[in-house]
Amino acid sequence: MYLKVESLEKRYGHLVPVSGLSFSLGQGELLGLLGPSGCGKTTTLRMISGLIHATSGKIIVGGHDVTHLPTYRRNMGVMFQSYALFPHMTIAENVAFGLEMRKLSKADIAQRVSSALSMVRLPALGNRKPLQLSGGQQQRVALARALVIEPDILLLDEPLSNLDAKLRDEMRNEIREIQQRLRMTTVFVTHDQTEAMAICDRIVVMNRGKLEQIGTPHEIYERPSTPMVADFVGRINRIRCRWRDDGAIAFGHTAIGAVSTGPAGSEVLVMVRPHRIELRSAGAKAGRAEGENTIPGTVRQVTYIGDSLQYAVESEGEKIMVEQATTSAGDTYKPGDAVTLNWRARDTLTFAAEADV
């Protein structure tokens, strides 16, 4: 493993923004630090870069303990949320700054600056000042400045949050593409699960200063280890029920089937993603697959949001959200329609009720 973080902790008096955090990533891996604001992900990133000193724990890069090294000796490329370009320097001077600190020759610097600017597709803007550039261009300069020093690790702090939605997707892919090409070990902090899912090899979900789950995007999404993770990485229905003695879950007059089981009579938190539920007319006798849940309900509300339709369905006194892709056939239901909710048992996520906080 190239970067190892062991039992990392940060304290400010009674405040503990990060505690007991351990994870590691291999050379060339892109790791996402995902979590709601205040979860300690940025603090973690700043501890890795050295801008904040860890209260305890270790940070190891390529076998060397860098926990107590000052930032300027760590050789990490950091891209800040606000880009932090030096406003009094030109673009070329900004990119050259880190190379000057490394005492490279003038010719060497010029050559490396121009190739870095070409890499981020801004070869002609070297003489402009940062404020004359658009947000997306500033972003690319910041990336070039962080990469030109050939850092051991690239640290990205919410790099896309200041861009508009369209540009964000484009930059996201560009960052991923460059990272792959350079095989750059990268830590990427974000609060946007789509972003994290899209480009990360693995994701660390953090909550209240602690690691909640670490895994590939698929693992995180399909097999969240806590309700918090399940909730954070996508929309989800939550229903509080009890286990029956037959291994199913009691839901009003009917039952919900799941893959896992629990002790009869104990409380269980059931979570189902809205787009994994299919709506059918109450009377329809469509082929019902084995292990599929079918729950009757009544449509209460329909919301059209372009690429999908959102239904609020009442069933056994609970409100269950259902999402269906809009198709040209457009077989939509209206409020008041009696329907059945159908989903596969393996899409039923169950958690011990105590885990729900």
Partner 1 sequence: MKDSAAVDQSNSSRRAAGVVFGLLLPILIVNIIAFVVPVLNLAAMSFRSATAIGSLDEALTLSTWQSLLGDTFYWSILWRTVWMGALITAVTLLLSYPLALFVSRRSGWVKTVLVVACISPLLISAVVRTYGWMVILGNQGFLPALIRASGFTPPRLINNEFGVLVGMTEILMPYMILSLLSGFGRLDPILDQAAETLGARPLTVLRRIVLPLSLPGILLGCLLCFVLAVSSFITPKMLAGGRVSLLATEIYDQAIVTLNWPLAACLSVFILFVFGAALLAYGQLSKIVD
- Binding to partner 1 (CB under 8 A) within 179-238 occurs at none
Establish if 253 lies at the interface with partner 1 (CB under 8 A): no
Measured from the CB atom, the residue of 52 and 203 that comes closer to partner 1 is: 52
Measured from the CB atom, the residue of 146 and 205 that comes closer to partner 1 is: 146
Pattern of binders to partner 1 over 16-55, x per CB under 8 A? Answer: ---------------------------------xxx----
Q: Which of 5, 25, 47, 76 binds partner 1 (CB under 8 A)?
A: 76
Among 88, 166, 253, 285, binds partner 1 (CB under 8 A): 88
Question: Nearest distance from residue 98's CB to partner 1, in Å?
Answer: 4
Regarding 12 and contact with partner 1 (CB under 8 A), the answer is: no
Q: Which stretch binds partner 1 (CB under 8 A): 33-41, 78-86, 189-197, 307-315?
A: 78-86
Applying CB under 8 A, among 149, 187, 230, 277 the residue interacting with partner 1 is 149
Length of the chain: 357
Give the residue, chosen from 101, 286, 338, 355, that forms a contact with partner 1 under the rule CB under 8 A: 101
The residues binding partner 1 (CB under 8 A) are: 49-51, 70-78, 80, 82, 84-88, 97-98, 101-102, 145-146, 149
